[in-house]
Structure 1
Amino acid sequence: MAWNEPGNKGNDPWGNRGGNDQGPPDLDQVFRKLTSRFGGNRGGGGINAAAVGIAVILLALVWGLSGFYKIEEAERGVVLRFGQYYEQVGPGLGWKATFIDEVIPVNVNNIRELPASGMMLTMDENVVAVQMKVQYRITDPRAYLFNVTNPDESLNEAMDSALRYVVGHTTMDDILTTGREQVRQDTRVELEGIIEPYGLGLTVVDVNLLPARPPEEVKDAFDDAISAQEDEERFVREAEAYARAVEPEARGRVQRMEQEATAYRERVTLEAQGEVTRFVQLLPQYLAAPEVTRERLYLETMEKVFGNTSKVMVDTEGNGSMFYLPLDKIIERSGSKSAPKVGASQMSESDSQPSGTFNTNRGANNRGGSIRQGRN
């Protein structure tokens, strides 16, 4: 028989044995029965104190464990207490009060990069496309987080301003060719001067100027101009190399000529001094025997004169024919130091040198006939 059929008594699954209850038990009653099993009912339905204590301990444990944090070696932690700056912590494991403190890690070793580019007007009123990248690092985490709203965007605007200022004070040729390094250095100095008053907590590591280019409409003309400048620089370097190669040779020739001139001057000076000394020594002899001294000087002079000319001996026959003998050639062939004899002609003792020119007539006196100088 079903529990709800007429005449069924005491089979109600909800415990209605007398038939007086019209529905399921109240949830409040079920809850009271459950709490009574943990220690009884106090004050008509209050929660057990032991259960509350256990719950509080569990919550405190969870709260305490949730406060542990870790800061990496390359980071620094900025601690906020109730939303305001409290302190800065270093790398390692730490603990914070959850819901009270907040720790923001900031990487201070990572080098960040920020690009900037645009069409800019140069000092000579030309337009050039310039691209630049700045590398920076966070050095003050507190200033980086709280001094400005967006430090990266502020740095980007400052770099654009510095780059436009430097490009506006530089000619286009310098930006495209030889003045790129100066533009880079000036831009870095200007950028550091702009961001210093704001206290961004950043340090500029390097500024890289990428290859600039003119507008596409005039690119071909500027390429030709750059090629011409490169050719000019190449010719200048070649000329400098040639100058470095020729200059030492010229200096060597100059030094050699100076040394030769100095040696010639010393030689002439010494010869002149020697002649003076010889004449001084000759003066007493001339005073003692003037004729003999004059004759000796004459013979010595003629010896020097004939020593620098070719000598030819002439033997005149009775019929007027002449016979020439080149004495210097004969002496070279024979190797003899004495002069050869020709016919009945004789050379005098002073005419026996291998130089000079002699003309001896047949039938002349015993000094070798008439002597005359001749040249081939």
Structure 2
Amino acid sequence: MAWNEPGNSGDRDPWGNRDGAPPDLDEVLGNLKKKFGGVFKGGSGSDQQTPAGVPGSVVFIGLIVLFIGWLLTGFYRITEGYQGVVLRFGEFQTTANPGLHWHIPRPIEKVEKVDIGRLRAVEIGYRENQRSGQLSSVPFESLMLTQDENIIDIKFAVQYQVNDARAFLFNVRDPEGTLQQVAESAIRQQVGQTPMDSILSRNRNQVSVAIFETMQEVLDRYEIGLRLSSVNMQDAQPPEQVQASFADAVKAREDKQRLINEAEAYRNDILPRANGEAARILADADAYRATLMARANGVAQRFTALREAYAEAPDVTRKRLYLETMEEVLAANRKVMIEGDASNNLLYLPLDRMVNEFGNRSTGELSGEPATSSSRVPVEQVDSRSVRRGRESRL
């Protein structure tokens, strides 16, 4: 029964007092000293024992061993890639780098180990099943509005690491959840400032870089203790409901680009050829000009020399010019000019050879070959007696 219930013998309280009077403090302390004095005195007498019958020296040694064991529990080791955060009654004290350290054991101090070497990832717009590896879409994250008011289904993977263990544990309540919200906000901001064609084709890398910079700036402002490693666009396509129409638009755009490439290839083939032809024509013109100038200079020099010769000997020069002119005029004439004299010799004219030579000369003139002195028909002079003998033999 309880000490204060009716019928309790003597009506004693827990301190041995009767009638409910308050105990004397000095008396209570004296009684405790008597009961436990043998434990802490460590006297030499074998009769000093605890109330349970155990010698006081054994209890004292046991307490010392327990205290030393408790102190030894304060040693801890931080492995490579981790950072320790020492807390005293839940308040931050210091950080510990990889190695062996000691802290005041629990419950006074404790150590939180944070993995700062592991590369972590957060998925925006999809989730990956860790067992099967299959991807499942998350529409409320992946569907976004572009600058040209088109809806795009886009997925990102953000990789990051912890670079400040203290900030990671204390500055934000849910660092990873905050990171995911920051990532989704930065992605929506950048996608809303970019046309759909730019995201799907030529500016995918620029979009990822812009999202990376925006996210890191926000995380640094939050002092969340995270450092981004990469922001990768996993997939970007129109919604499933309009994929067929969009595929036709993409095909038309590809045909347009193909035709542009073919036109550029044709231009690259024609332009060098035309430039070469133009250069050849210019070179021929320069050569023709040089030829005409040389010929004109030659004619001028010949005329100058002829004028000087005419000034020295007018008659001789005049006669020579007349003969050269007649020779040039009569070179292509079929008539034969014979100077008459009173000799008895007869002239033998090889008409067949003359005709052949004239035909060859005409052909050469048509082909552009100049007439030479060897094409002139020779006129042979024979003795009249040989001609007469030939006539008599025929008679």
TM-based fold match above 0.5: yes
Whole-angstrom CA distance in 2 between matches of 1:253 and 1:121: 55
Residue matched to 2:120: 112
Unpaired runs of 5+ in structure 1?
1-34, 316-321, 345-376
Per-residue CA deviations over 1:45-68 (Å, capped at 9, x if unaligned) read 775321221221221232133222
Residues 161 and 44 (structure 1 numbering): CA distance in 2 closer, same or farther, change over 3 Å? closer
Residue matched to 2:357: 327
Residue matched to 1:80: 87
Give 1:240 shift: 3.0
Question: Which of the pair is proportionally richer in helix?
Answer: 2
Whole-angstrom CA distance in 1 between matches of 2:312 and 2:152: 103
Residue matched to 1:210: 234
Give 1:132 shift: 0.8
Q: Answer yes or no: is 1:68 the counterpart of 2:37.
A: no
Match of 1:157 among 181, 204, 221: 181
Give 1:168 shift: 1.0
Residues 56 and 43 (structure 1 numbering): CA distance in 2 closer, same or farther, change over 3 Å? closer
Per-residue CA deviations over 1:126-156 (Å, capped at 9, x if unaligned) read 1111111111111111111111111111111
Q: Which moved more, 1:237-246 or 1:264-273?
A: 237-246
Q: Answer yes or no: is 1:260 the counterpart of 2:260.
A: no
Give 1:302 shift: 6.8
8 Å Cα contact 1:144-1:202 kept in structure 2: yes
Residues 193 and 158 (structure 1 numbering): CA distance in 2 closer, same or farther, change over 3 Å? same
Whole-angstrom CA distance in 2 between matches of 1:103 and 1:137: 20
Whole-angstrom CA distance in 2 between matches of 1:267 and 1:61: 116
Whole-angstrom CA distance in 1 between matches of 2:117 and 2:326: 102
Matches within 5 A, 1:1-376: 39-41=46-48, 48-99=55-106, 100-117=108-125, 118-290=142-314, 292-297=316-321, 300=324, 313=334, 325-327=355-357, 337=374, 339-341=376-378
Give 1:248 shift: 3.2
Residue matched to 2:26: none
Whole-angstrom CA distance in 1 between matches of 2:330 and 2:227: 96
Q: Which moved more, 1:59-68 or 1:70-79?
A: 59-68
- Residue type at the aligned position of 1:186: A
Whole-angstrom CA distance in 1 between matches of 2:50 and 2:70: 32
Residue matched to 2:35: none
Residue 98 of structure 1 aligns to a residue whose secondary structure is coil
Per-residue CA deviations over 1:50-94 (Å, capped at 9, x if unaligned) read 122122122123213322222111112122222111111111222
Q: Which moved more, 1:206-215 or 1:272-281?
A: 272-281
8 Å Cα contact 1:129-1:212 kept in structure 2: yes
Whole-angstrom CA distance in 2 between matches of 1:97 and 1:303: 134
Give 1:179 shift: 2.4
Whole-angstrom CA distance in 1 between matches of 2:114 and 2:73: 20
Whole-angstrom CA distance in 2 between matches of 1:120 and 1:303: 100
Residue 210 of structure 1 aligns to a residue whose secondary structure is strand
Give 1:225 shift: 1.1
8 Å Cα contact 1:312-1:327 kept in structure 2: no
Residues 242 and 338 (structure 1 numbering): CA distance in 2 closer, same or farther, change over 3 Å? closer
Give 1:121 shift: 1.0
Give 1:337 shift: 3.8
Per-residue CA deviations over 1:238-278 (Å, capped at 9, x if unaligned) read 33334334433333333333333223222322322222222
Residue matched to 1:356: none
- Residue type at the aligned position of 2:299: E
Residue 207 of structure 1 aligns to a residue whose secondary structure is strand
- Residue type at the aligned position of 1:78: V
Whole-angstrom CA distance in 2 between matches of 1:306 and 1:201: 112
- RMSD of Structure 2 on Structure 1 (CA): 3.4
- Residue type at the aligned position of 1:84: E
Unpaired runs of 5+ in structure 2?
1-38, 40-44, 126-141, 337-350, 364-372, 382-395
Whole-angstrom CA distance in 2 between matches of 1:75 and 1:43: 48
Residue 97 of structure 1 aligns to a residue whose secondary structure is coil
Residues 330 and 167 (structure 1 numbering): CA distance in 2 closer, same or farther, change over 3 Å? closer
Residue 104 of structure 1 aligns to a residue whose secondary structure is strand
Whole-angstrom CA distance in 1 between matches of 2:50 and 2:117: 64
Whole-angstrom CA distance in 2 between matches of 1:205 and 1:56: 52
Per-residue CA deviations over 1:220-240 (Å, capped at 9, x if unaligned) read 011111122223223333333
TM-score, normalised with respect to structure 2 = 0.66
8 Å Cα contact 1:129-1:214 kept in structure 2: yes
- Residue type at the aligned position of 2:229: V
Give 1:111 shift: 1.7
Whole-angstrom CA distance in 1 between matches of 2:71 and 2:147: 65
- Residue type at the aligned position of 1:115: E
Residue 123 of structure 1 aligns to a residue whose secondary structure is coil
Whole-angstrom CA distance in 1 between matches of 2:259 and 2:276: 26
